[in-house]
């Protein structure tokens, strides 16, 4: 009788572990597939910086970007280095319902730029879309000076 119970217990444990392993494998496979699809979709995403403007009078940093690839891009983050201080603004600009389509340009307007004072120097601008973060563009600006 005890051997029958031991066998039944072993079979039930094996069934539980098998079910868990099957579920985990399915979830991991779906995750890998989603990531692969995203990488394929973003393989032709190319972004370019067209212009940079920094004005003390309006506390604005404006970066004009151009989608030169073949993928819609949206939810941009902007990182700037002004007077050796970094600041970042995330998820603004075109969004998933109204993306930056291929061939379009957009002005990312960062207001409340406290470091956009006259004479301050921008040495780096980096823009990245959230839907294709690998399609970021980084411009090592050759000492762009903010205006009044």
The string of pLDDT tens digits covering residues 99-123 is: 999 999 999 888 777 777 777 788 8
Q: Give me Rg for the CA atoms of the chain.
A: 25
Give the count of alpha carbons within 13 A of 38, CB side only.
Answer: 14
Q: Which one is predicted more confidently, 145 or 81? A: 81
CB neighbour list of residue 39: distance below 8 Å, 6 or more residues apart:
134
pLDDT at 143: 60
Residues in CB range of 120: below 8 A, 6 or more apart = 54, 82, 83, 145, 146
Asked whether the beta carbons of 49 and 64 are under 8 A apart, the reply is yes
CATH code of domain 47-145: 2.60.40.10
pLDDT in tens, 14-69: 777 877 877 777 777 676 666 555 556 688 889 999 888 877 677 778 889 999 99
């Amino acid at each position: 009788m005890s051997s029958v119970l031991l066998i039944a217990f072993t079979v039930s444990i094996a069934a539980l572990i098998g079910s868990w392993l099957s579920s985990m494998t399915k979830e991991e496979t779906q995750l890998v597939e989603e990531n692969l699809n995203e990488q394929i979709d973003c393989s032709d995403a190319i972004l370019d910086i067209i212009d940079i403007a920094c004005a003390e009078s309006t506390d604005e940093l404006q970066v004009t970007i151009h989608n030169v690839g073949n993928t819609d891009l949206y939810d941009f983050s902007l990182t700037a280095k002004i007077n050796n201080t970094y600041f970042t603004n995330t998820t603004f600009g075109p969004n998933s319902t109204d993306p930056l389509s291929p061939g379009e340009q957009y002005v990312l307007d960062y207001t409340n730029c406290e470091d956009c004072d006259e004479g301050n120097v921008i040495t780096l601008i980096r823009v990245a879309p959230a839907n294709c973060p690998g399609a970021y563009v980084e411009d090592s600006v050759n000492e762009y000076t903010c205006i009044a």
